[in-house]
Amino acid sequence: MTAAADRTSILVVKDDPPSRRLLEASLTAQGYQILEAGNGAEALAAIGRENPEAVLLDLDLRDVDGLEVIRRVRAGGSRVPIIVLTDRSKLRAKIEALETGADDYLAKPFGIEELTARIGAAVPEKKDKPVFESGALRVDLMRRIVRVKGEEVKLSPKEYEILRLLVVHAGKVLTRSFLVQEVWGLGSHVQYLRIYVRQLRQKIEAQPKRPTHIITEAGIGYRLRVHGGSESLQSL
C-alpha cells in the first residue's frame, strides 16, 4: 500500500454521514488519503488546518452554503482544487459554482471511475508538461504546434487560444463566459465562441459532429477529454 505521505489528500465535505462514509471507503480503496468535514464550518477549518490537495464539496450543506464556502476559500487566497457535487438538474448552481471559483463539478449520481478521473484532472501535476497528448491529438505548448495523427494542423490565433485554455485545464469544464472573457475580453458575445469551437472541431476531430476531444457540457461550456481512462461508470 502507498505510504500516507505519498497519497493525494482529499477533503470530503458532506453533511450526510452514510454518503460521506461511502465516498471515503471508495476513495481510500483507490489510494487516496481522506479527510472529512460534516458541514461548511468544519470544511473551512480543515482547509486551513490540513491543507488538502483537493476538496469534494457538496453544495447542499445545512450550515454554510456550498457557494459561500467556495467564496471564503478563494477570498482567503487558497487555490486548492474544488470539485462540487450537485444534483443533475441544478444547471444554474453548477454554473454559479464554477464562476465563483470551483474547478469542476459532478452531477449526482456518479461513478467512482468518473470521480477519480476528475480528481486526477483537478490536482496539479508534480511537474510541468509542455506537450499534451490525448488519442490522436498532440499539442506542443512551447512551440505552439498542433498535430492530429502526426500531421500538423494550422489554427488561427483565436482557435489556438481556445485550444490552449482547454489543454491547460484538460479534463475540467470551462464555462462559456470564462472562455469568452479570456479569448475576447469583457462584453464579447458567446456566439463568437460557438463559431470558433465549431471551426476548431473541423480541424482536430475525426467526426466534428460527434467530437471525442472537445466535449460540450450542455448549458455550461466545454471540456477537453483526456483519453486513455475507462469511460464506464458505476452507481455511487
Q: Highest-confidence range of 3-7, 12-16, 59-63, by mean pLDDT? A: 12-16
| DSSP 8-state secondary structure symbol assigned to residue 27 | H
| 173 and 75 within one domain | no
Triad 114, 166, 54: Cα angle to 5°: 45
What pLDDT score does 123 carry? 82
What pLDDT score does 165 carry? 93
Task: Give me the chain's average pLDDT, please.
Answer: 87
The answer to whether position 231 is within a domain reads: no
| 109 and 142 within one domain | no
How many folded domains does the chain comprise? 2
What pLDDT score does 174 carry? 92
| 199 and 147 within one domain | yes
Mean pLDDT, rounded, for 169-182: 90
The answer to whether position 235 is within a domain reads: no
| 218 and 148 within one domain | yes
User: Of residues 232 and 84, which shows the higher confidence score?
Assistant: 84
pTM of the model: 0.72
| 109 and 18 within one domain | yes
| 104 and 136 within one domain | no
pLDDT tens-digit series, residues 94-136: 899 999 999 999 888 888 888 888 888 888 664 456 889 988 9
What pLDDT score does 236 carry? 37
Query: Of 122, 155, 174, at which residue does a domain stop?
Result: 122
Tell me the residue range of the domain where 64 lies: 4-122
pLDDT of residue 69 exceeding 70, the answer is: yes
Query: Band of the pLDDT at 92, cuts 50, 70, 90?
Result: confident
What are the E-state strand segments in the chain? 9-13, 33-37, 54-58, 82-87, 104-108, 131-134, 137-140, 145-148, 151-153, 173-175, 214-217, 221-224
Query: Of 122, 153, 186, at which residue does a domain stop?
Result: 122
Mean pLDDT, rounded, for 217-221: 92
Q: Which residues of 41-52 are buried (b: 16+ CB within 10 A; e: fewer)?
A: ebbbebbeeeeb
pLDDT of residue 235 exceeding 60, the answer is: no
Query: Of 105, 122, 139, at which residue does a domain stop?
Result: 122
Q: At 56, which CATH number?
A: 3.40.50.2300
The answer to whether position 12 is within a domain reads: yes
| 105 and 214 within one domain | no
| 109 and 198 within one domain | no
The 10 Å Cβ neighbour count of residue 27 is 20
